[in-house]
Structure formats: C-alpha cells, structure tokens
Chain A
Amino acid sequence: MIARPFIDWGWIVDHLDEIRDRIGEHLALTAIALGIGLIIALVLALAGLRVPRALPPITWTAGVLYTIPSLALFAFLVPITGFTTLTAEIGLVSYTLLILIRSIVTGIQGIDPAVTEAARGMGYSPRRMLWEIELPLALPVIVAGVRLAAVTTVGLVTVTALIGLGGVGFFILRGLNRFFDTEIVLGTALSVMLAMILDAALVGIERVLTPWSRRRSAT
C-alpha cells in the first residue's frame, strides 16, 4: 500500500469554521472547570487552614477523586447525569481539586510567620490579612498549581469526546472512527497547543499580579 500522508491540509482549510467552534468549546469547558475548581479549592483550603483537623480528610478525598481514572469517573456519572456538560464538568472539576488545594495550602503555609505576625500586630483583621497579605504572598505557588491544573484539564477535556463533547478531542474521536489520520493529528496538536498557550498566558498573568517577585525563577 502506498503510504498515506499523515496530514491532509486541504481538509483542514475546508473545516476552519468547525475547528474554531471546537476550540471555543474546548476553552469554555476548561475555563468553567478551572473557575469552579478554584472557588471550591479556595473554600476547602481556607477551611482546612483554619481548622487543621479538617485538612487531612479534605486532601484525602481530593486524592481519591484524583486517583479514579478519568474515563471511569465520566462513566460513573453518565447513568446519573447523562451525556451532558454537567457530567463533563463534575469530572473535570474533581481533577483540579487536589492540585489546587495543595498549592493554596502550601502557598499560605510557606509564608514567613514574621510577616503575618507583623500584620497582626498592626491590627489587621483575619479577613484583611487573608486578602492583603496571605493570598498575594502565596500567589506564585498558587499560580504554579493553577498552571498544572490548566494543562491537565486541557488534556482531559479531549476525553469528554466520548460523552459527546470533547472540544478538539472530538476530532480525535471522529478521526479514530473513520481511520482519518488528519483529524487525529489535528485534535492532538491543537490540544497540546492550547495547553501551552494557556500555560504561557498564566505565566503572564502571574507576572502582572506579582510585580514584586520578578526575580523569582518560574517553576
């Protein structure tokens, strides 16, 4: 058999609209998962920091969720929530929690106690302390966690193709079903590119938010 080309550029040019829509879907699924994940992780991490006894069960639960294979988790949910965005988001959010909770907790625990002591001495209320001292100082570590969660989520979104969503993962699945290499390569390459662009964007956001730590090397 004559070797087929891996990529049929003509097909890609003909399907630019569809590609754009799928990228949009991919980014929306990722953004919702990261946003909700971050809110839940913040609440749980702060609760865990305030009540130290609650921290081990919180991270343990997040760890268990993280260990369940993604496909299995989506499969568990399908009988309950069906082939819906809700199913995808429950799964995607679950996977961000461990990484995000860990980064928030380590970030805040890593703050020099002298700094918080000084703030307390100056009469900062716990709430002001959190928003003006602890979260800003923990931001580099938190952003490192968000970056990892973002890259992981972009990859996981492709799996949701199996429950009828998938973003650019839709191309991978359709390519597999039709033995059409172009779509497989396209879907995978787009997913990698989206992950890298999002990662770079988060580095940029971190730079803007923490002007005082320019000299710190990125992890």
Chain B
Amino acid sequence: MVAAKVGDMIEFLGDLAAWFASSWDGDTGYLMRIWEHVTVSGAALLAAVAVALPLGAWFGHTGRGGMLVTSMVNVGRALPSFGIVALALPITIRLADALPVIDSGLGFLPTFVALFALAAPPVFINTHAGIRGVDPDTVEAARGMGIDGRRVLTTIELPMAAAVIMYGIRVTAVQIVATAPLGALVAYGGLGRFIIDGFAVRDSVQIAAGAILVALLAVATDIGFSRLERRVVPKGITPTRKGGNIAGDVMVDPARAQWSRAVKPIHREE
C-alpha cells in the first residue's frame, strides 16, 4: 500500500514536470500568465504608491489624519481581499456601462481596481507612521536651523522614514502578488487561471503548478523589494527590525513596532 502511495507521488511529480516542460508557450502558457500577473500587480502597486505615498507623507508631516489611519487599519484588517476583488466587479461593470471609453468592465479593470484598493491603505498607513515616527527633536533642530516645512519633509523626514515606508511597500507588493490570482474570478488572466480553472475541472497537476508559480512569484517579489529597500534606505539610519515578514498592518501596531533611536515608537501620548 505504501509502495502504491509512493508510486502515485512519483507519477504526480512526473506529470508536474511534464506540465512545466510543455505549457510555457502561447497565449495560455505560463510565461504569458506570469506576464499578465506581473503587469496588473505592477500597475496597481505603482498607482497605489503614486496616490498614497504623497498623501501619507503630507498627513504625517502636518500631523493630521490620525483618526483616518486608525479607522483604515481597522477596516483594512476586517475587509477580506476576496470580498474586495468581488466588489470591484459590479463597480467596474457599471463604470463600463456609463463610460463608453472603457470597453470592458471585466478582466484587467476589476483586478486592477481591487488590487489598488487593497494596496493604497497600507502604503498610506506606513508612510504616515514612518513620518510620524521620526524623532521630533531632529525635526525641531532642523526647523531651528531655518529649514522650511517642505524641505524638512523631503530632506529630513522622508529619508529617516524610508525604512518604514519601503517595508510597507514591500509587504504590500507581496500581498498584491498573492491576491492577484483572484483576478481569474473576474475573467482576468494571470497565474490564478491555472488554480481557478484547475479547481473547476479538478486537475491536480494544473492546480499544483499554479500554486508553485504564485508562491515563487511572491517569494521573488519579497526578495526583490528587500534588495530595493536596502538600496533606498540611507545607511546611517536603518532601524533595527526584529524578525522578517509580518503583515503590513502588524508593523503599525505600536505594541509590535520596535525601532531604534532613529525612529521612535508611534504612540507618544501615554
């Protein structure tokens, strides 16, 4: 019986290898699916950073938006990403009905909208937290030297908050790559196609292959962004961080945020 199990396993691995050797080419091959996956993820991340980073920096700099951040953290945690992807569909379909410019409310658009909605809050939250976490004495000193508000933000606060901001972007990027497979449910391509279609026809080989590719892409994203993080963050002010991957919202949790002298904990009122 054990021998039969092992035999099945070897056969399955053989099928999997055969799948990887044969299914890479063409419009439905995995190279194309990886490309679709990366484009929608990249577009959503870029849009989220373009919108949320300046907003987070500005709100952090002026000290406003504390309530907004708190409610975003709470709602963001409770909202299931599956729900966000699903909710994007009725919205984009209505958009496509209303605006003739958009030719389809299916596929790329709902996936992009959902991933953007998923990505913007954590980028905003971490940028805000990073800027608020900069030692007030340093900011005070800069102001005392006659540096104006905008330059305080760009030359003092942003570089000192870079580690927190970049960490937020990294975690967000991984989360986007991990959620993009759900785009297959709203008629997009991407690597989710293999998993969702595999589920539908109960094709274990295709399901496993899709899972492997998604996991590899997520890990590659994590590694890529941590390299970028190291390049972007100025050498002298890298905060010591205990442990590696935790969810983006965890790091904002003041009980968990452990920064060195350069970046102090977020909660000050106690």
Contacts and interface: CB of A to CB of B under 8 A. Distances in A.
Decide whether A and B are members of one complex.
Answer: yes
Nearest to A189: B83
Nearest to A98: B246
A187 B244 contact: no
A44 B114 CA distance: 36
Interface residues of A, number: 53
A156 interface: yes
Most buried by B among A72, A154, A176, A179: A72
A69 B255 contact: no
B207 interface: yes
Nearest to B269: A217
Interface centre among A99, A155, A199, by most chain B C-beta atoms within 10 angstroms, is: A155
B107 interface: no
Interface in B188-216: 192, 195-196, 198-199, 204-205, 207-208, 210-212, 214-215
A71 B181 contact: yes
B146 interface: no
Nearest to B79: A192
A155 B78 contact: yes
Contacts of B215: 68-69, 72, 76
A195 interface: yes
A152 B77 contact: yes
A169 B82 CA distance: 8
A175 B90 CA distance: 10
Contacts of A71: 178, 181-182, 192, 195, 211, 214
A173 B182 CA distance: 11
B164 interface: no
Interface string B235-256: 0000000011111001001111
Contacts of A181: 90
B214 A99 contact: no
A19 interface: no
B87 interface: yes
Contacts of A187: 83, 86
A73 interface: yes
B94 interface: yes
Interface string A1-23: 10100100000000000000000
A196 B83 contact: no
A176 B84 CA distance: 12
Interface stretch (A33-41, A123-131, A158-166): A158-166
Given A69-B181, A72-B181, A76-B208, A59 B250 contact: no
B173 interface: no
B5 to A, nearest CB: 11
Nearest to A63: B245
B204 A6 contact: no
Interface in B130-183: 174, 177-179, 181-182
In order of increasing CB-CB distance, the 8 nearest A-B pairs are A188-B83, A69-B178, A75-B211, A155-B80, A79-B204, A195-B78, A72-B211, A72-B214
Given A68-B215, A199-B78, 20 more contacts: A63-B244, A71-B178, A72-B210, A75-B207, A75-B210, A76-B212, A99-B250, A102-B256, A144-B253, A154-B80, A159-B80, A159-B81, A159-B182, A162-B196, A188-B79, A188-B84, A188-B86, A192-B79, A195-B77, A219-B253
27 contacts: A63-B243, A69-B177, A69-B179, A69-B181, A69-B215, A71-B211, A71-B214, A72-B215, A73-B211, A76-B212, A78-B204, A99-B247, A106-B255, A106-B256, A148-B253, A151-B77, A152-B77, A155-B77, A159-B82, A162-B196, A169-B82, A176-B186, A179-B89, A187-B83, A188-B79, A196-B74, A219-B255
Interface of B: 12, 74-75, 77-84, 86-87, 89-90, 93-94, 97, 174, 177-179, 181-182, 185-186, 192, 195-196, 198-199, 204-205, 207-208, 210-212, 214-215, 218-219, 222, 243-247, 250, 253-256, 270
